[in-house]
Structure 1
Amino acid sequence: MKLRAKGTALHHQLYVLLKEQITSGRYRLGDLLPTQEALCRQFSISRITVRRALNDLVEDGFVRNRQGVGTFVAVDAGRARQGPDFSFIGDMRRTLKETTMQILLLETARCPPAIGAHLGLADEEQVLHLVRTRSVGDKPVTLLDGWIPLGFAKAVTARNLQTRSLHELIAGSFERLGRVAQEVNAALADPTVAQALDIEINSATLRINRLVHNREGAPVHYVTVWTTPLRTRLVMEVGADDIDGYNIGRLLHDVGR
């Protein structure tokens, strides 16, 4: 297989390939990766390209180097992927506990018309605009760009966000949350997203547009979430009562429109 420099740097292509082979279990904990010379021949790339890819894998904790021996897998992919919490509230509580937050923007602003329509707002109505990242250690894992009607944003302050979940502040408690609808797409990272997630411009990202309601059915939060498949995966579960309905999700094809 020959890697080709079309839109994505060669070293990043090799990084993604090797990472996938590690996380899928093809290479297991303690396995020795092919030598740099073998990777050069296999993918028709230079030694410096291979070294950059391996250095990135070392930096992200997937492999480690042993002087004079080679590069070994440093993660147990099977164990790392066990036991996800499928509940929405459980996931929010886990996220609050396991990540740190940085607020990039917190201001009152005019709501974009498309988002205002989802929130049931009048044209040009003011909302609270909140942009933040969440990180695990020193690695940013999500960028969140949210819009909250002012009537539900009174408790949303920079100080409160340091200790409580945004949705607790909006709805009063996790139990006061209602229906959640979301749309998932693949997207290329623009400069703002790339900087926030510490990835290269035009890297692949997962983009989620999410509309959250309270128990009374009022829309209380519209948020766009960006994350990188280098560090995050999306898991879903559908109950037996929902398997024959639209709650499982639909594929809408925007072709020929």
Structure 2
Amino acid sequence: MERIVVVGAGHMGSVIAGGLVDGVPQAEVVVVEPSAERRASLAGRAEVAAAYDPRPDDLLVLAIPPQAFDSFAESLPPGACAQTTVVSIMAGVRLETLASALGTDRVLRAMPNLAAGVGQSMTVLCPGDQVTAGGVDRARGALSVIGEVLVVRDESLLDAATAVAGSGPALVAYLAQSFTDFARGAGFAPADALLLTSQVLRGTAAVLSEPGATPESLYRQASTPNGTTAEGIATLRQHRVGESLRAALEATAERARELAG
């Protein structure tokens, strides 16, 4: 039986562990969490432990804060992770750092997002050069329980992934606030304003998922000359909304690069 160990039972660690229990019932899922309160909250859902007991060929998911990584690595016996495939969702901790501290080349970095909680994460996964195709498939399979997984080979792309996928839900929600505020101001009840906005976002995502669809093709198709949508797009361009959003994404990516050192 495959053993998957999730270290850290914070929000994302708990979501991943819960997804594994439900989505990979044939695996032994272990959650390592020093907090007794958090362990108690998971009791009955997965096997829980206060400390990691390494076993050869574990799939180890590190869902701890980056500042806790050094103490975790130092707590392990020498060579404990030599045969372990390690997936880190810690922001800013590079593959080289992971491999050096844990004594294994089987390291991968993953960037999930807030939508993992509803099984709709866009997770970007980057394997180290020494990770086999089987190791990549194993990690991708585990992370697929929380949504879509995109594999990239260039680690520098994870900074952009942090902006687009990691921070994306919050940026989209910020923009969605304007939709709900407008609807409420026009007279819609708060719940109805949120329904209007959320369904527009959901439907737009579904259309963009169709073969051949692009954002530009969608808004051009909806923009009848001199019509309502065309007027809205023209106003967005006038106020340079696209440029402002790109600037926000670049600032987010730059901050990710700074945090990674």
Q: State the TM bucket, normalised to the shorter chain.
A: under 0.3
- TM-score, normalisation: structure 2: 0.23
Greater helix proportion = 2
Q: What is the TM-score normalised by the length of structure 1? A: 0.23
1 or 2, which has the higher strand percentage? 1
